[in-house]
Structure 1
Amino acid sequence: SARAAARTSVLSRRWRHVWADVPELILDGGGPDAPPSFLDVVDAALGAHAAPTVERLLIAVGDADADAITSDRAASWLRFAATRVAGTLSLLVPQGLGWWSSSLIPVELPVCGRAKRVTLQLRDAWRLQPPPPAAGVFMALTALTILFGRMEGSELTALVSTQCPCLRDLKLSLSLVHVSGVVSVHSDTLRSLQLCICNSTQVEVIAPRLEKLCVYDTFMGRISAPKLSELFWTGGNADGSHQFDVVSRRLRLLEIVGLRSITKSLLQQFDEVEEMKLFMSIPKGTEGYRIFLNQTNKLPMCKTLHVSILDFNHHGLAPTLLHLLKICNSTTKEVYFQLIPHDYQQEYSCPSSCPCRLPESQMVDVMTLTSLEEVIICSHSKSYGELEFVQKLCKCNATSLKKLVTVHDNERSRVHVESNEVTEKIRTLYPPNVKVEFYVI
């Protein structure tokens, strides 16, 4: 095969003149044709390459070599990249069987002055040590990704805040060496930032041009980003320990994922959101539903609302969806509900005293949804709560409603849809100008 021939030529002086000056080196040890001596092949290829400039260097260590790769070997590859790479550098090392270790192994990151994009996926026990400030800067670097591995908080701060003066895209998913570490990301050029930093007690972000921020796992910290337009927040509860100092109160996109309950302090930070996506699980019991009502009693005005509810049948579905529509009724035009049940056979598992079962939660005659034009409901199978919501929605004052769509991703629902008994009944509830559609995918 061509790949086999390429591997052979790496170690063959006879063929060295053919490939020694190629502008790209793609060394992938994860494929089915990877040689058993892949690490030696990489060493030989880098040692024999004669071109002064490499536009792209990709070294992907396969799982078979995960436990054989040493930090010294990886450091030697990085030293080659520092002197040759003028475009994209990617070093991908899998975790291996012994991925966790109490002792850290240092790996030095030299200054890659000409590299424009750098991606490093490291073993968790490797401690990445960036060059000291006096060694120079990553002058051409615009995109930096560091996955796994460990770093000192002060060294990480210096790397991203002072040694990468042209950085526009930064992705960090790693752990700090010491628990209670502090990290500061201060950049005048940064446009996109993804953060998942373990062992940190405080993270400070000061980025006047930042447009997109993704936060994985909640941190205590300060955010100053006056041009922020997209915020993605997932992980633990954003309990107010974060501080938005200079951030616009209008966003293009706000997405909150993986929270046990939607956090009031984060939602009330913004007045208007063009598109809002919420992924939530309402806690069981009366108190759990009261917490949900309290935390969602004020939502940003939005044009498009996506709500994914995990374990939705712990409470009454219709009152829950109607509550969300009522809170967003002034500006919302499109609503998408995704329902993810815990038990398909269980409905209303909460006590009769739960607010979702009280008569006032069922009242819809006085509910006005002035802007609502389209409602889409996606669930695994048809449920009583879904049918109840559809029936109550038609009683609301929703004069702008044009389309109602239900989508089931379960073959068992096909019988109900094709029978037309339920679907026709629902269609008769709505005026002719409202298009009612049913799909099974």
Structure 2
Amino acid sequence: MVHPDDGHRSEIVMDAAGRSCEVDEEDYISGLPDDLLHNILLRLRSTAAAARTSVLSRRWLRVWAHLPDLELGNFRAPAAAVDSVLDSIDAAMAASQAPAIDSLCITVEKENRTRQLPLSAAIPAHRVIAWLRFASRRRLRRLNLSLPADDDMAARAPRRRVGGEEKTMEALPIDLLAMERATSIVLDLGHRFRLRLMMIPPPVAGGSGAFTKLTALTIIAAAVERRELEALVSSHCPRLEKLSIIGVKLLDGAGAGAASSFSMRSDSLTSLYIHLRESGLEEVVAPRLEKLHASGDTGFHVAAPMLAEVSWQDVHRAYLSNGVLRRRPLKIAGAARSLRRLCITSPSSVGYLLQRFDAVDWLDLTLAVPQGVEAYRTFMDDMDNLPKCETLVVSLIAQFHGFVPSMLHLLRRCSHVKKLVVMIIEHRDPPPLSPSSFCSTACPCRSPDIYKTDGGIALDCLEEVEIRPIGPAPVGVVAEFVDQIFRLDAAMLKKVVYQQSPFRPDQEGYEKVRSMYLSNPRVEFRQLASTKQGCDSLVQ
């Protein structure tokens, strides 16, 4: 047993006469230096769990309070328990005695993300401001603040309706200069607050007033004044390398309305992930930018000569059903004609971006060709501009137009592809219907000529094809596509893999396709099961 007062361990044993006696046994763990004990407690990855070790002995009472990393809050907070969660966060900060904090992570989430819970009033601004002041005083290095999404506010930030009246979102001041040691900051505010970036005095020559240590910044689901964000990125963060701005509402002035335009320039930025809500990004100038992931209602101009990876998601239909451009596309200037990776998610035409590059190591296209003859012809024209690539990943909705004809037309421009991954996406709204329900007999996807493969499709480098249905893809469509693959001029083709999705599996369709091609030695079947840890495992 352990004596609570001294940390010594004793054991009850029997002596030679058969009588019980207590023998002291040294407690090797409690005798370790504080630094080693801190290292042990940090492996618990929870400050609450570390604090519970104080019941072991008097030696352990204050060990956890000197931890340099704090993991506070919880990941699933029932509505009734939110106040106690917030109180525990405040109590842990009050008990902390570490003069400097390397990492502070505060997480409060809904118990069920799909259920409306009254958390808006449970997390007032003064609580969050106190947490941020704590971070400033303790010379913090890494900050991660994640609040639950306010579903009622998400669609109307920076204002929300309370009791029938429109209320302005509470301002949340962030004194960045006070956190001069911070290297990484993540602020996920759940559309609850208007973020005020306090940067006074402005930077001057020599770095005074600049946020010189910050290398990674993430702002999610918040409202931010345009001029403050521009100044932060362009002037106050000379070492900023990774920037993520996701679901952010840009304001013009003191939160009076949405900003009409936004631009940024950074000589240090290497990675940019940006998605703005109802705001137009005009220009990004970043000489060292290597990775760009962008999505939004409209494109913007990018000047980045070092660009190597581009991911563009057109979240709304940027084109009319006849393929006519109605919004500004993404324009990339200064970059080389080749990329390591290009990922495009678009409901329609993508030719304006595909023709920008001559060669891409990994090309990933997620397409939904709109209804109509003109839209399909635009799709065919876009595929004429397909850059050379070694790995091609195509996600295509099968029901709008003929899936197999669409893929065959795309493959006519893919003579250098070594690996082809095809994802057949189930279209849920409207329900899946036959191809004739979506396009007329005049549509090119209905033409018999498009099935001609003799001499027209030469895939001299193709070695492997993976087919991954997402949802219950029509068995006939899958079988027809597999059959067409073996008809192609692909002398190097070694195998065709049919892989079932672990998230929306179609067991019946999987078994039907498997029974059709089980005897073919070049067709391999895989089933992936989702594990509790969120990883995929192969089911033999």
Q: Secondary structure at the match of 1:41?
A: helix
Worse-matched range after superposition: 296-305 or 357-366: 357-366
Q: Residues 154-212 of structure 1, C-alpha deviation per residue, up to 9 Å, x if partnerless?
A: 11011112111111111111111232432223112211110011232233211111111
Match of 1:76 in 2: 130
Q: Find 1:413's aligned residue among 498, 509, 534.
A: 509
Shift of residue 347, structure 1, vs aligned partner: 4.4
Q: TM-score, normalised by structure 1?
A: 0.87
Contact kept? 1:7, 1:41, Cα under 8 Å: no
Shift of residue 15, structure 1, vs aligned partner: 8.7
Please tell me whether residue 254 in structure 1 is matched to residue 333 in structure 2.
no
Instruction: Measure, in 2, the Cα distance between the counterparts of 1:98 and 1:7.
Output: 37
Number of aligned residues: 427
Contact kept? 1:154, 1:182, Cα under 8 Å: no
Worse-matched range after superposition: 371-380 or 33-42: 33-42
Q: Find 1:175's aligned residue among 225, 243, 249.
A: 249
Instruction: Measure, in 1, the Cα distance between the counterparts of 2:71 and 2:512.
Output: 53
Q: Secondary structure at the match of 1:253?
A: strand
Shift of residue 362, structure 1, vs aligned partner: 1.6
Shift of residue 260, structure 1, vs aligned partner: 1.0
Contact kept? 2:82, 2:122, Cα under 8 Å: no
Match of 2:39 in 1: none
Shift of residue 73, structure 1, vs aligned partner: 2.4
Match of 1:394 in 2: 486
Consecutive unaligned residues in structure 1, runs of 5 or more: 428-433
Match of 1:338 in 2: 423
Q: Residues 69-109 of structure 1, C-alpha deviation per residue, up to 9 Å, x if partnerless?
A: 22222122212212213321112222346535151321111
**Alpha-carbon RMSD:** 3.0
Please tell me whether residue 153 in structure 1 is matched to residue 235 in structure 2.
no
Match of 1:204 in 2: 283
Q: TM-score, normalised by structure 2?
A: 0.72
Worse-matched range after superposition: 104-113 or 86-95: 86-95
- What percentage of residue pairs aligned between the two structures are identical? 36
Q: Residues 113-160 of structure 1, C-alpha deviation per residue, up to 9 Å, x if partnerless?
A: 001111111142411111235162222111111111101111101111
Shift of residue 270, structure 1, vs aligned partner: 1.1
Match of 1:223 in 2: 302
Q: Secondary structure at the match of 1:321?
A: helix
Q: Find 1:142's aligned residue among 196, 202, 215.
A: 215
Instruction: Measure, in 2, the Cα distance between the counterparts of 1:333 and 1:185.
Output: 39
Shift of residue 54, structure 1, vs aligned partner: 0.7
Contact kept? 1:113, 1:139, Cα under 8 Å: yes
Q: Residues 292-332 of structure 1, C-alpha deviation per residue, up to 9 Å, x if partnerless?
A: 2122221111111000112x133222211111110122x11
Q: Secondary structure at the match of 2:86?
A: helix
Contact kept? 2:51, 2:65, Cα under 8 Å: no
Match of 1:371 in 2: 461
Consecutive unaligned residues in structure 2, runs of 5 or more: 1-45, 111-117, 161-165, 203-208, 252-256, 319-326, 529-540
Q: Find 2:447's aligned residue among 358, 365, 388.
A: 358
Q: 1:356 to 1:186 in 2, by over 3 A?
A: same
Contact kept? 2:47, 2:64, Cα under 8 Å: no
Match of 1:90 in 2: 144
Instruction: Measure, in 2, the Cα distance between the counterparts of 1:39 and 1:175.
Output: 27
Q: 1:383 to 1:65 in 2, by over 3 A?
A: closer
Shift of residue 220, structure 1, vs aligned partner: 4.0
- Give the partner amino acid of 1:318: V
Contact kept? 1:117, 1:144, Cα under 8 Å: yes
Please tell me whether residue 124 in structure 1 is matched to residue 212 in structure 2.
no
Q: 1:70 to 1:382 in 2, by over 3 A?
A: closer
Please tell me whether residue 282 in structure 1 is matched to residue 369 in structure 2.
yes
Q: 1:396 to 1:43 in 2, by over 3 A?
A: closer
Match of 2:356 in 1: 269
Shift of residue 254, structure 1, vs aligned partner: 0.6
Q: Find 1:327's aligned residue among 383, 391, 413.
A: 413
Instruction: Measure, in 2, the Cα distance between the counterparts of 1:181 and 1:15.
Output: 56
Instruction: Measure, in 2, the Cα distance between the counterparts of 1:35 and 1:246.
Output: 51
Q: Find 2:388's aligned residue among 297, 301, 317.
A: 301
Q: Which has the larger radius of gyration?
A: 2
Shift of residue 4, structure 1, vs aligned partner: 7.6
Match of 1:25 in 2: 70
Please tell me whether residue 187 in structure 1 is matched to residue 234 in structure 2.
no
Instruction: Measure, in 1, the Cα distance between the counterparts of 2:279 and 2:511.
Output: 53
Instruction: Measure, in 1, the Cα distance between the counterparts of 2:514 and 2:352.
Output: 45
Instruction: Measure, in 1, the Cα distance between the counterparts of 2:480 and 2:336.
Output: 39
Contact kept? 2:77, 2:108, Cα under 8 Å: no
Q: Secondary structure at the match of 1:391?
A: helix
Instruction: Measure, in 2, the Cα distance between the counterparts of 1:74 and 1:7.
Output: 25
Instruction: Measure, in 2, the Cα distance between the counterparts of 1:416 and 1:69.
Output: 53
- Give the partner amino acid of 1:78: L
Match of 2:170 in 1: 105
